[in-house]
Amino acid sequence: MGGQTGNATTHRRRVLQGLGALSVSPLVTANTAHPQKSDFPSVKALARDLVSAEVVPGVVVALGHGQEDPTFICHGTLGFGSEVAVDENTLWRIYSMTKPVAGMAAMLLIAQGRITLDQPIADFMPEFGTMQVLIDPKAGLAARPARNPITVRHLLTHTSGIGAAIPMVGGPLIDAYTAVGLKRGVLDADGAPDVPGAVTGLAEFARRLATVPLEAEPGTHWRYSYGLDLIGRIVEIVSGQPFDAFLKQAFFDPLGMASTGFRVPAQDRMRLVDNYSTPYPADGSKATLIDPGAQSQFLKQPTYVSGGGGLVSTARDYDRFLAMLVGGGTFRGTTVLPPAAVAMGMSNLLPAGTNMNSYIFPGSGDGFGAGGRLVSSGPDKGTFGWMGAAGTLGTVNPDRRLRITGMLNCMNNMALPEQLPAAVNADWPAH
């Protein structure tokens, strides 16, 4: 009994230390006037235009204020030639919209005092303690020892120096990632990877990633990366749970996100949209079917659960995650995160002086939080969130208490993420 009391006291102390370390005020509520009633003509027109132009067969948008029930705008079908209409319960591949979810998992562990924001990741994965940095990433793999340790902050903000196997980027580093099996695959029915040599777990993923040199010195440059995948591995190590089980227990179950996960159950296959692709950069070509919903690779167990891009979700479910963020960690009376943890996760966590020349969004003045972009200026100032490779978008503006979820599935087509915020502002202007 005495040992249990001591452990409980230690745990409480660590939690208080973690919350104190957050050092961010709870969410402010400036500019929270309820937007005027709207039938969302601009958003409806955008959805209609994307479908009529045959960019995609279907679009669903969820818009919400505060924690009120969202308005769903649904147009089109599950696939070209399908007669099944999309709705708030349609399943979508959300890819990198997974990142803010993984980021908030890290915020939870920080709030609990189990990790710290600027803690070296070698504390959890010693293989990252002696990293090498490329001397000239365009020329080859010649490298020197890293001067700075990679930290949790770096992983959350894409400033670790780690890259990612993005084919459109090219170069020696991408070839190195491919050579060690870091391109994502899925498992066939017999349990074998369908990509030769693909990793089959986050532990193995981390070990292999540590053998590849860094693209830049940790804490100096923004580089799109595998950082949020490594956050998933840290969550596993610290919590003692598989990453997917941790997310389910911490977020998905208490928030009622019953349709969100890394694998689509067989009984739900008819809710999963077809996935398409257009050339990159866009050249006006029609979309090509690459992953039919009823036979999707997402019906199989992934080789590893990717915090960087592995989730499938619905507009209804993802809106609940955003509503929780608006609520400072609480949704409909259920608290999953302390307010200070949410505030920190949606604040600018970039290391001072970060070079933003490689930032995906135009302009170098934007910030970055726990797995998501933080807009620092303009009409969307204060907005936090991220997009997905198949054209999805999920953002929240805590000042305006505004939630936006946009769903379609067409790889390389960013029409919805690029146009939806402006359409929402036209229908729900800021006061």
Summarised one tens digit per residue, pLDDT across range 52-108 is 988 899 999 999 999 999 999 999 999 999 999 999 999 999 999 999 999 999 999
What pLDDT does 33 receive? Answer: 64
DSSP state of 186: B
What is the percent of the chain where pLDDT is above 70? 87
Mean pLDDT of 421-430: 92
| Residues paired with residue 145 on neighbouring β-strands, in sequence order | 132
For residue 361, give the nearest of 376, 348, 345 by alpha carbon. Answer: 376
Q: Which residues contact 266 (CB under 8 A, 6 or more apart)?
A: 299
Q: Sign of dihedral through CA atoms 216, 218, 219, 223?
A: positive
Q: Which residues contact 326 (CB under 8 A, 6 or more apart)?
A: 27, 64, 66, 67, 396, 398, 401, 402, 403
Domain boundaries, the chain: 41-94+242-427, 105-239
Which of 13-27, 29-43, 241-255, 357-371 ranks highest by mean pLDDT?
Answer: 241-255
One-letter amino acid of 103: G
pLDDT digits (tens, 9 = 90+) for 301-330: 888 899 999 999 999 999 999 999 999 999
What pLDDT does 17 receive? Answer: 44
pLDDT digits (tens, 9 = 90+) for 156-193: 999 999 988 775 556 788 888 888 888 766 666 566 67
For residue 272, give the nearest of 44, 62, 86 by alpha carbon. Answer: 86
Q: What number of residues does the chain have?
A: 431
Q: Which CATH number fits domain 41-94+242-427: 3.40.710.10, 3.90.650.10, 2.60.120.10, 3.30.70.260?
A: 3.40.710.10
- Between CA 249 and CA 272 the distance in angstroms is 24
Task: Judge whether residue 45 has pLDDT over 90.
Answer: yes
136 token code pair: 């000239």
Q: What is the pTM of this model?
A: 0.91
What is the percent of the chain where pLDDT is above 90? 72
Alpha helices in 218-314 (DSSP H): 227-239, 243-247
- Between CA 227 and CA 352 the distance in angstroms is 18
Distances in Å between the Cα of 202 and the Cα atoms of 205, 305, 384 are 5, 7, 27
